[in-house]
Structure 1
């Protein structure tokens, strides 16, 4: 039987389309009553399983070997957990005339989320950058995010974090950190299985995230919080996120040059230090924000799609200009072929 392929002319990656379809289903058929309880329990179990798989996949030896390039990793971590949050805090001035308090909380949360792994690798490889450094940088960011994202959320979001409280920290530990540590501890026995069935487990990853999205947006529909968002507010949010992404792409590229990194390392720093992980952010948001998670994850979902499209264009251009150190981010023209890299990168972003 011939396998169906996603049409090349479609501007949205199939997984992003699945996410949007899940949001639509939650809007039309939200889980209520007992169904909501079942969906919530299944979502919690799926989140724990996701982080168990993350732990089982991460090679401790590779992570330790990557520490040799510590300056690059410190730069990426600083971009992800220092510069991004500072820009997020600067966005406070946009409330309430441009962003609502709820949308701003989601916007600030996206700046606290760790970087991606697979998309960083895919774009770094396409742009002929330092791929091993991108692998380690993405892994370190994801690992650090399990601890740093909740701590930063506690410090910066406070009461605006919906259901965020001291109990949320306990839930993070139980549902995210403990499964991750268990995956690391059992990697000796399950690591081979996870590697051999990487493709099948990738579908499990994406299915679990879709379940998390459905549960979060169902709760939002039942609570009626979507009435708070107007088309104007969504356009404003997209504009703010475009400015944020452009700023981070420029800061990571030119900042890395000022720090003395070579071209290959600058490529890895830019792609690992300018993006945010939907796969890590969604589960954390459901724990931190509770019933308000649907609005909290909206900025992250929009930013995720935007970063894939823009970084795919940049990576394609840079693959042709491997010796050009000076071209500006804003000077890139969209290429139709860039969607291929974006599609590859979405699978684990």
Structure 2
């Protein structure tokens, strides 16, 4: 069986290499307005998401409440609690930065596109996947800042919830509502050009990743990260994925879920959105010392989850 490396993962690696060699376009004071472009880009991402959203499919998934509860509790409670259990072992400022980055990743909502696609490939409950992936992004606007803010406040960092929620509402809720309100005119077009819109989404994410790493390389932030520390971080991220994946599977079996519902629970409950992660990162960590490494666990997790779930989905598709 042949496995292909996801092109987006290769693009992320290429962007990081480019940021290392050519960081000047992403640093503060650069003439290239990456921050403005990415802000407009994220607004359009969620606007197009609102255009594509299918109200009928969302309604059809409302009745399977046990499945929805398991997915959302796994996403916003189980993931962060596992990371929280490691907090007593954090002793140095460097360890705290990595731990906060892991907590940020753990508190993020599920991703929409890959969750639905992988559930479809594995022949799971697709309407329920659409519902959970969609509602997860809305819940994350409230829950993610609460988890992160709790520990940033303890570290003495200024964390203004009102400003954060206003920015998240303007950046996510407003364009989604605008897109939904204009579905009569643009829904069919958004679906027709779905692949092109996905490419646009990824381009905006790559732009934010470039800026983050360009600033970090320019300021020699990663010079303090040892290869051993990176390897440990990688193992933690992989272990976290499998722990949550099998806990969800165990609970699903106890609740007597069908195979289709179990697939949806495990696939949606273990996903973390790189789209939401990058926009949350821009709002939550723009003025903090830890911001340079915040996206690192998320990108490792994103690459890992795509690779692992692709293998699992391919096997389940043949059942």
The two structures have a TM-score, normalised by structure 2, of 0.89
Q: 1:342 corresponds to which residue?
A: none
Q: How far off is 1:11 after superposition?
A: 5.7
Which residue of 303, 306, 314 maps to 1:305? 303
Q: 2:129 corresponds to which residue?
A: 134
The answer to whether the Cα contact below 8 Å between 2:109 and 2:136 also exists between their aligned partners in 1 is: yes
- Within the alignment, does 1:270 sit opposite 2:266 as a pair? yes
Residues 240 and 87 from structure 1, CA distance in 2 versus in 1: closer, same or farther, beyond 3 angstroms?
Answer: same
Over aligned residue pairs, what C-alpha RMSD do you find? 2.5
Q: 1:343 corresponds to which residue?
A: none
Q: 2:210 corresponds to which residue?
A: 214
The answer to whether the Cα contact below 8 Å between 2:100 and 2:148 also exists between their aligned partners in 1 is: no
Return the alpha-carbon distance in structure 2 between the equivalents of residues 36 and 284 of structure 1. 24
The answer to whether the Cα contact below 8 Å between 1:57 and 1:187 also exists between their aligned partners in 2 is: yes
Which residue of 79, 87, 92 maps to 1:92? 87
The answer to whether the Cα contact below 8 Å between 1:164 and 1:289 also exists between their aligned partners in 2 is: no
Unaligned runs of 5+ in 1: 1-7, 323-349
Q: How far off is 1:98 after superposition?
A: 12
Q: 2:43 corresponds to which residue?
A: 48
Does the residue aligned with 1:12 lie in a helix, a strand or coil? coil
The answer to whether the Cα contact below 8 Å between 1:150 and 1:172 also exists between their aligned partners in 2 is: no
The answer to whether the Cα contact below 8 Å between 1:253 and 1:266 also exists between their aligned partners in 2 is: yes
Q: 2:5 corresponds to which residue?
A: 12
Return the alpha-carbon distance in structure 1 between the equivalents of residues 100 and 7 of structure 2. 28
Return the alpha-carbon distance in structure 1 between the equivalents of residues 39 and 292 of structure 2. 15
Residues 162 and 26 from structure 1, CA distance in 2 versus in 1: closer, same or farther, beyond 3 angstroms?
Answer: farther
Q: How far off is 1:238 after superposition?
A: 0.8
Return the alpha-carbon distance in structure 2 between the equivalents of residues 95 and 313 of structure 1. 34
Q: How far off is 1:301 after superposition?
A: 0.3
Return the alpha-carbon distance in structure 1 between the equivalents of residues 93 and 301 of structure 2. 17
Aligned counterparts, 1:157-306, within 5 A: 157-158=152-153, 164-166=159-161, 167-290=163-286, 292-306=290-304
Residues 234 and 99 from structure 1, CA distance in 2 versus in 1: closer, same or farther, beyond 3 angstroms?
Answer: farther
The answer to whether the Cα contact below 8 Å between 1:217 and 1:293 also exists between their aligned partners in 2 is: no
The answer to whether the Cα contact below 8 Å between 1:56 and 1:190 also exists between their aligned partners in 2 is: yes
Q: How far off is 1:50 after superposition?
A: 1.6
Residues 99 and 35 from structure 1, CA distance in 2 versus in 1: closer, same or farther, beyond 3 angstroms?
Answer: closer
**Number of equivalent positions:** 314
Does the residue aligned with 2:30 lie in a helix, a strand or coil? helix
Return the alpha-carbon distance in structure 1 between the equivalents of residues 295 and 159 of structure 2. 14
The two structures have a TM-score, normalised by structure 1, of 0.82
Return the alpha-carbon distance in structure 1 between the equivalents of residues 52 and 141 of structure 2. 15
Aligned counterparts, 1:328-339, within 5 A: none
Return the alpha-carbon distance in structure 1 between the equivalents of residues 202 and 108 of structure 2. 18
Unaligned runs of 5+ in 2: none
Cα deviation 1:142-184 (Å, max 9, x = unaligned): 2322333233332354355977533333322222222222222
